[in-house]
Amino acid sequence: MTEEQLIQGCRENLASAQEEMYAHFSPRMLGVCYRYGKSREDAEDMLQEGFIKVFNQIHQFKGEGSLEGWVRRIIVHTCINHLKKNKKFNESVSLVNACDVRVRDYSVPSMLQAKQVVECIRLLPLGYRTVLNLYAIEGFSHKEIGRILDIEESTSRSQYTRAKALLEEILIKRKILPEKEKVRLVSGEP
């Protein structure tokens, strides 16, 4: 199916189109959910809830921008709502997400290092991890993060700074990052 046929099929509630869309996007979206969830089970719950929303809201997709970007945005908002609903975000709101996790060098050592960095990010308190994901990976501004999480913009910024410091400490302890290097963020913000 072409993307247009897939979208139209989902709008008509065709199970085959929904299955194909799920099969196509679910592996990447599970990765997104995994960054927000406490466990694989949490991530899978978020993914299922997110795809229900995708299928219920597919009629709102206007074709402006990529379908994957639209699906990703729904999944991210679903993850945040899941954390809020279960009050998991309230455990801690400190920031830690400091690396460009996108792998540009697909050699085995680079892929292993990227996996180690993701695992270190998952060691951060949930609040830090959430702000880090929203800012450095999803590209939200601190103002948007404040609105999404019901926190002040300045809280988002300070948590991000603390998260970078904590992540750097973890990466150095695990000998993933040499002591003299600083963690670089996607946004380029210090």
pLDDT in tens, 103-159: 333 444 444 566 777 788 888 888 888 898 899 888 899 999 999 888 899 999 998
Look up residue 86 and give its DSSP letter.
T
Q: In terms of CATH architecture, what is 90-190?
A: Orthogonal Bundle (1.10)
Q: How confident is the model at residue 23 (pLDDT cuts 50, 70, 90)?
A: very high
Taking residues 22-30, what's their average pLDDT? 94
DSSP string, 124-160: S-HHHHHHHIIIIIT---HHHHHHHHTS-HHHHHHHH
Q: Which two tokens stand for residue 130?
A: 């959430």
What ranges do the domains of the chain cover?
A: 1-86, 90-190
* Domain 1-86 = CATH 1.10.1740.10: yes
pTM: 0.71
Closest CA to 140 of 86, 97, 103, 90: 97
pLDDT one-digit tens code per residue, 54-93: 999 999 999 888 999 999 999 999 999 988 887 654 444 3
Taking residues 47-59, what's their average pLDDT? 96
State residue 180's pLDDT score: 62
